Amino acid sequence: MSDVIFEPLRFKNLTVKNRIFRSNISGRFDNYDGSGTQTRINWELKFARGGVGAIISSFVPVHIRGRIMPNYATIDTDERIPFWRAVGEAVHEHDCRFIMQLSHGGRQRDVPGVEYPLGLSSTDQKDPLHGFECQRMTTDDIKSTVAAFAEGARRAREAGLDGVELHGANGYLITQFLSSAINDRKDEYGGSLENRARFVVEIVKAIRARVGTDFHLQMKISATEYNNALLKLEKPGNTVTDSIQVCQWLVAAGVDSLHVSTGSSFPHPRNPAGSDLPLDVLGQTYEVMASSGESTLRNLLLFRNPLTGEIFRHQWLDAGAPVAQIEGLNLPDTRLIKQAVDVPVICTGGFQTASVIRSAIERKDCDAVSIARRLVANNDLVNQFAAGRDRAEKPCTYCNKCLVHVVEHPLGCYEESRFASREEMLQQVMSVFHPPAYV
Ligand SMILES: Cc1cc2nc3c(=O)[nH]c(=O)nc-3n(C[C@H](O)[C@H](O)[C@H](O)COP(=O)(O)O)c2cc1C
Ligand code: SF4
């Protein structure tokens, strides 16, 4: 009997061999200036070999000022095109497609780097958790940022990649415009939903004008923002009803697919939703961010204090989702969006069981799923599904140790209980550096 997971997915301009996408995830694998390295190619190859139909890259800044931290390869100049061509070619050898996530962090920058001390945003208010300060964008800033996204798409196309995704989710610049909780502008880019969506609709139109209508373009969106999930005095932010309207405008402007996420920040208690918040690791790695925002040093001390740390951990987990609900937690929003648009819709969040994914697609809640952490834990999960396994033998525990390690250490699975020993775990983490750049 045919399995819907392994049926090809046809978008307007792209066909993917199955319904499982590697969701956007990577570590600080590249050079400080945004030039790429062999390590990123090694990273992406792990998943291409493991059977995913397509890889959606992690955050790729369209401008240096829009990066979240150094050591992520950028797409801000034509100089970067050959590197991304090499990534695409390596992945293609495994019959896997590669979609680049065009991104701008706005005010949400974990480690800003030396070039631009101040981030840009829809607002001049700092973010409430870390206190990242920012500068309100002028109309000229908006115009040049729209153009930077369009140039990023043009470069991705010239690199031979299979499409681009706008990072319109999780509190980055596009969310900072879309969100009713963050955008406090009084001009034509703020106020009504239509005005708040103007920035991203202009980006879509500019991309279409630059690359034409036959290149795949999708958008990742936080369908429900839950902006006050952790900080109860904040405004709630956009609802799924707001996001459905935004998705319809995006499709009318030329978007070929939606990728549904959640949360008005990154990380957010609901994204990536976890079974734990590993405070011991957080207390070490958050030090990299100690000077990034007005509240980051305070937060570091709070995480390191056993009492306040424990209170924060409880609040974070309470604001998230019970472990039993993490798998497919964005499916209800995705279903509503899918019913309202006529393009394929991808759902992210918690997937790790073939039968759950199969049912979601068969029920028409979504057309495909994207997976991040479970593929970090088991790079070959899709090949395991193809061989008839419903779940990996050593599943991901949603512990979120990979997440809190990533600002300082190489990305990999840090859940020691999944390995025979700590040495074996570290071997897996360090395997991303093989082969090295110069052999
Ligand atoms: C370490 C880490 C890095 C991530 N980086 C990105 C990113 O660059 N862009 C993005 O859209 N999402 C990013 N995400 C979110 C994932 O792509 C995914 O949507 C989310 O973790 C939920 O899926 P999962 O439960 O399969 O992990 C990241 C998640 C983790 C854990
Ligand atoms: S550290 Fe490993 S087990 Fe824990 S969430 Fe990340 S991938 Fe899953």
By percentage, how much of the chain surpasses pLDDT 70?
Answer: 99
Average pLDDT over residues 227-252: 98
Probe target for ligand 1 pocket from 23, 60, 108, with the most ligand atoms within 8 Å of CB: 23
For 62-104, the pLDDT digits (tens) are 999 999 999 999 999 999 999 999 999 999 999 999 999 999 9
Residue 148's pLDDT is what? 98
By percentage, how much of the chain surpasses pLDDT 90?
Answer: 99
For the question of residue 189 being annotated catalytic, the response is no
For 54-70, the pLDDT digits (tens) are 999 999 999 999 999 99
Choose among 184, 187, 175, 198: nearest CA to 250: 198
Which ligand 1 atom lies nearest to the CA of residue 398? 25
Question: Which residue, by CA, sits nearest to atom 25 of ligand 1?
Answer: 350
Please pick, among 72, 172, 189, 414, the residue that the annotation labels catalytic: 172
The number of C-alpha atoms within 13 Å of 297 and in the hemisphere containing its C-beta is 2
For 389-409, the pLDDT digits (tens) are 999 999 999 999 999 999 999
Q: Look at the block and give the residue holding tokens 């030396």.
A: 114
Rounded distance from Cα 271 to ligand 1 centre (Å): 8
Quickly list DSSP for 407-423: TTS--S---GGGSSSHH
Rounded distance from Cα 109 to ligand 2 centre (Å): 23
Residue 256's pLDDT is what? 98
Residue 437's pLDDT is what? 76
CA distances (Å), origin 119, targets 69, 171, 176, 179, 234: 12, 13, 12, 17, 21
Question: Which residue, by CA, sits nearest to atom 3 of ligand 2?
Answer: 396
Q: Please, what is the angle between helix 240-253 and helix 331-340, to 10°? A: 40
Probe target for ligand 2 pocket from 43, 326, 396, with the most ligand atoms within 8 Å of CB: 396
User: Could you tell me the pTM of the whole model?
Assistant: 0.98
Residue 24's pLDDT is what? 98
Q: What is the mean pLDDT of the chain?
A: 97
Taking 70 as the threshold, does the pLDDT of residue 439 lie above it?
no
Q: Which ligand is nearest to the CA of 25?
A: 1
Q: Left (φ > 0), alpha (ψ -120 to 50) or beta: where does 239 sit?
A: beta
Structure tokens at 203: 């980006």
Q: Which ligand is nearest to the CA of 52?
A: 1
Rounded distance from Cα 273 to ligand 1 centre (Å): 10
Residue 196's pLDDT is what? 98
Rounded distance from Cα 23 to ligand 1 centre (Å): 6
Provide the 8-state DSSP code for 265: S
Average pLDDT over residues 265-273: 98
Q: Which ligand is nearest to the CA of 396?
A: 2
Probe target for ligand 2 pocket from 414, 416, 419, with the most ligand atoms within 8 Å of CB: 414
